Amino acid sequence: MATTATEATKTTAPAQEQQANGNGNGNGEQKTRHSEVGHKSLLKSDDLYQYILDTSVYPREPESMKELREITAKHPWNLMTTSADEGQFLNMLIKLIGAKKTMEIGVYTGYSLLATALALPEDGTILAMDINRENYELGLPCINKAGVGHKIDFREGPALPVLDDLVADKEQHGSFDFAFVDADKDNYLSYHERLLKLVRPGGLIGYDNTLWNGSVVLPDDAPMRKYIRFYRDFVLALNSALAADDRVEICQLPVGDGVTLCRRVK
Ligand SMILES: C[S@@+](CC[C@H](N)C(=O)[O-])C[C@H]1O[C@@H](n2cnc3c(N)ncnc32)[C@H](O)[C@@H]1O
């Protein structure tokens, strides 16, 4: 019987036991688990994460991002914010690919938006979408103080109709260098189809939360917060779909809550 990727990640038994239990991919091949071959990930403790923040992230965090992060920390939904190390990663990524025209789906108070805006050239642009303007306006003074507010075109409302309008305009096809998606997980696959038209070949899409609080490897009956459980299947479906999508090259990074980068190749 074929073993799905989800089932495989749930398995904790050593290789011999898996073989005895008939675990595999149905072609007589055995799935390789990182515990069998060792792994290079160094992130093994909370202290190590704190070390990264204290050593490499916070000392280099621009004052405006620090201020926005501190304002956000007082907001009741602060768990939604992009982490400081992920903000630093996005900022570097945007510079590395020389992005100019970008979009963000899911702004909240604007931490990743500011990280993006600071990385873009003076004439760079971000089409920023969120159903909630109030939260965006909480961080907006920090964005303006940093002198990058002019790069942002904020649209209040659901992102999908905005993307549909863009797709209807052929001139927008292949015009975006980068898109960051950090919003309603149940729509990620719908966003993906549209973004593959709007992002240029060679351009990047980043999907946030692809490890979904670690729940992607939990058994179905494990206790989970309602919110985590609700979106978990959508995240699992997204990860499987991206892995099988030959229109993109992918790279899943354990930064923040998991970020999957998709480079459009078709
Ligand atoms: C995880 S937060 C975004 C965090 C943000 N990137 C940051 O750096 O803090 C998710 C956001 O998605 C927004 N959202 C939810 N559904 C949406 C939709 N259909 N269209 C646009 N935004 C949506 C929510 O209002 C929320 O602000």
Give every CB contact of residue 138 below 8 A, 6+ residues apart in sequence.
71, 72, 75, 109, 110
Query: 185 lies in a domain?
Result: yes
Q: Tell me if 126 sits within 8 A of 103, measured CB to CB.
A: yes
| Residue 36: both structure tokens together | 């069998």
| Residue 69: both structure tokens together | 């992060």
So what's the pLDDT on residue 45?
A: 82
| CATH number for the domain harbouring residue 77 | 3.40.50.150
Query: 39 lies in a domain?
Result: no
What is the rounded average pLDDT of the residues 188-195? Answer: 98
Per 3-state DSSP, what percentage of the chain is helix, strand, and coil (rounded to 5)?
50, 15, 35
Range of the domain at 209: 63-264
Give every CB contact of residue 203 below 8 A, 6+ residues apart in sequence.
97, 99, 174, 176, 177, 178, 179, 263, 264
Q: What is the pLDDT of residues 38-81, one digit of tens each?
A: 655 567 788 889 999 999 999 999 999 999 999 999 999 999 99
Query: 104 lies in a domain?
Result: yes
SS3 206: strand
Report CA(63)–ligand 1 centroid distance (Å). Answer: 23
Query: 177 lies in a domain?
Result: yes
SS3 115: helix
Total of domains in the chain? 1
Report CA(129)–ligand 1 centroid distance (Å). Answer: 8
Query: 105 lies in a domain?
Result: yes
Is a pLDDT exceeding 70 seen at residue 141?
A: yes
Atom of ligand 1 nearest to the CA of 109: 9
Query: 254 lies in a domain?
Result: yes
**Of 130 and 43, which is predicted with more confidence?**
130
Q: Quote ipTM for the complex.
A: 0.99
Query: 203 lies in a domain?
Result: yes
Q: What is the pLDDT of residues 242-263, one digit of tens each?
A: 999 999 999 999 999 999 999 9
So what's the pLDDT on residue 43?
A: 72
Report CA(128)–ligand 1 centroid distance (Å). Answer: 10
SS3 260: strand
| Residue 151: both structure tokens together | 């790069």
CA dihedral 156, 111, 167, 242 (to 10 degrees): -130
CA distance 149 to 118: 10
Is a pLDDT exceeding 70 seen at residue 17?
A: no
Confidence category of residue 27, pLDDT binned at 50, 70, 90:
low
Report CA(154)–ligand 1 centroid distance (Å). Answer: 12
Residue nearest to atom 27 of ligand 1 (CA): 108
Q: Is 119 exposed, middle or buried (0-12, 13-18, 19+ CB in 10 A)?
A: buried
Atom of ligand 1 nearest to the CA of 82: 8
Q: Tell me if 18 sits within 8 A of 11, measured CB to CB.
A: yes
1-5, 55-59, 210-214: range with lowest mean pLDDT: 1-5
Query: 9 lies in a domain?
Result: no
Probe target for ligand 1 pocket from 116, 118, 131, with the most ligand atoms within 8 Å of CB: 131
